[in-house]
């Protein structure tokens, strides 16, 4: 049996494929080695994943994860998985390679992740050739849900949010400066907290302020990330993630302004990864 995982900062989507090609897809919370220690990852496997499978029956695991950007972090994930899936061959890769394989298959292209966070790469059909450094939610993540949430919150507390949106925001969240700063500096998963305001942005996307906010974030993504790649105007650009999917109209508009040739948008990588590994 094969187990494929696509893990972001918010959730992990799993697909279990048996020898008869039957597929079972299920979710757990995200597994990120920069945000979680080994014990916390093991707890996810034991409490959230265990009800869906029998570990001893898994033969191959392909795990693509946010934060799996160094050999040390990949090895940490692999060690935890090896203890739990003791009969398995395990491969751990960065979620960016997973996005490239899901979006491009074996063809060249620029693969972009726009979800809780953001990232991108130039893929030659086999491996990642170029990667604009991703600096996380504090210094980067342009075009992501965290980026949009950060701007929305700052404008709200600075009194820059239009009155009608301020009233709606108050009614839905009733935020205080203390609670927001606590979530950002003292609680786990601050990027997830920032991205949790993306549904409010989506609900009010017809408002000129929200359109401007989202378009501005996407413009920054193309300016800082995509435009850095070799021959980016002549290469197909693909997108993965909930932000790209739900704000696709504004994403395409920003891409056109940047002179970018857009192609595929996937909300999730799992279907593309299933096709890649099945082939």
CATH of region 2-99+271-278, choose from 3.30.420.40, 1.10.240.10, 3.40.50.300, 3.40.50.970: 3.30.420.40
Instruction: With beta carbons less than 8 A apart as the criterion, state whether 89 and 51 touch.
Output: no
pLDDT at 137: 74
Percent helix, strand, coil in the chain, to 5, is 50, 20, 30
Confidence category of residue 170, pLDDT binned at 50, 70, 90: very high
Query: pTM score, two decimals?
Result: 0.81
Could you tell me the residue ranges of all domains in the chain? 2-99+271-278
pLDDT at 21: 65
- The average pLDDT across 189-203 equals 92
pLDDT tens across 208-252, in order? 999 999 999 999 999 999 999 988 999 999 999 899 999 999 999
- What rounded mean pLDDT belongs to the chain? 90
pLDDT at 95: 85
pLDDT tens across 97-136, in order? 999 999 998 899 999 999 888 999 999 999 999 988 887 7
Given the DSSP bridges, would you call strands 236-240 and 261-266 parallel, antiparallel or unpaired? parallel
pLDDT at 91: 93
Instruction: With beta carbons less than 8 A apart as the criterion, state whether 101 and 276 touch.
Output: yes
Closest CA relative to residue 147, chosen from 33, 266, 247, 265: 247
Q: Is 139 exposed, middle or buried (0-12, 13-18, 19+ CB in 10 A)?
A: exposed
The kind and range of the H/E element at 208 are: helix 208-224
d(CA 64, CA 74): 10
The kind and range of the H/E element at 82 are: helix 71-84
């Amino acid at each position: 049996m094969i187990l494929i995982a696509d893990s972001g900062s918010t959730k992990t989507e799993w697909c279990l494929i048996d020898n008869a090609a039957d597929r079972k897809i299920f979710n757990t919370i995200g597994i990120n080695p920069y945000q979680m220690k080994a014990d916390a990852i093991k707890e996810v496997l034991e409490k959230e994943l265990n009800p869906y499978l029998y570990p001893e029956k898994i033969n191959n695991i392909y795990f693509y994860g946010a934060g799996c950007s160094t050999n040390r972090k990949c090895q940490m994930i692999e060690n935890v998985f090896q203890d739990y899936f003791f009969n398995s061959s395990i491969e751990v890769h960065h979620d960016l390679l997973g996005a490239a394989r899901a979006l491009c298959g074996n063809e060249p292209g620029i693969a972009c992740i726009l979800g809780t966070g953001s990232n991108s790469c130039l893929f030659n059909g086999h491996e990642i050739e170029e990667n604009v450094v991703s600096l996380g939610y504090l210094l980067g993540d342009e075009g992501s849900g965290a980026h949009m949430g950060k701007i929305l919150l700052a404008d709200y507390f600075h009194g820059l949010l239009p009155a009608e949106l301020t009233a709606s925001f108050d009614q839905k969240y009733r935020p205080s400066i203390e609670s927001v700063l606590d979530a950002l500096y003292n609680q786990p998963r601050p990027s997830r907290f920032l991205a949790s305001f993306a549904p409010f942005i989506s609900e009010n996307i017809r408002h000129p302020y929200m359109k401007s906010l989202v378009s501005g974030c996407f413009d920054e993504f193309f300016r800082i990330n995509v435009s850095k790649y070799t021959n980016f105007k002549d290469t197909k650009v693909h997108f993965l993630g909930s932000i790209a999917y739900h704000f696709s109209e504004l994403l395409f508009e920003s891409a056109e302004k940047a002179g970018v040739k857009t192609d595929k948008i996937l909300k999730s990588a799992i279907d593309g990864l299933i096709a890649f590994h099945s082939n």
